[in-house]
Amino acid sequence: MNFYVIGDEDVVLGFRFAGIHGSIADTADEANEAFDKVTSGEYGEIGILIITEKVSLLMEDKIMQWQLAGNYPLIVEIPDMTGHIEGKTSLLDSIKKAVGIAV
């Protein structure tokens, strides 16, 4: 299974040391472009897409629609080097709420 990461420069560099390719995204346009390339198969068959919380905030609706449709790659949201964003609802909690599972 192939992994891919979209995040800030530090996160992407860290994952590259582990052999995982990625795209640096500091703006919504960069995040959307990288997401579209991954989900279209332009980067090959990706099974798990790792996205930082800050990038996730740049395209929350798009990620939510992707997850609710049950498409691959699966999306895993992680904090960046500064840590978890205080008060941010996790992607998993948002999906549970959307499908009616108590959070």
**Positive or negative torsion for Cα 24, 58, 77, 1:** negative
Cα 10 to chain centroid, rounded = 15
pLDDT at 67: 84
pLDDT in tens, the chain (103 residues): 799 999 999 999 999 999 999 999 999 999 999 999 999 988 889 999 999 999 999 998 999 898 888 888 999 988 876 766 666 666 566 666 666 776 5
pLDDT at 88: 61
H runs (alpha helix) in the chain = 9-17, 28-40, 53-58, 60-68, 91-99
Residues 6+ apart with CB under 8 A from 8: 24, 25, 26, 52, 54, 55, 80, 81
pLDDT at 1: 78
Give me the domain span that covers residue 91.
Answer: 3-99
Whether the model pTM is above 0.75: yes
Residue 91: CATH number of its domain: 3.40.50.10580
- Are 31 and 7 in contact by the 8 Å Cβ rule? The answer is no
Work out how many domains the chain is built from and give that number: 1
pLDDT at 31: 96
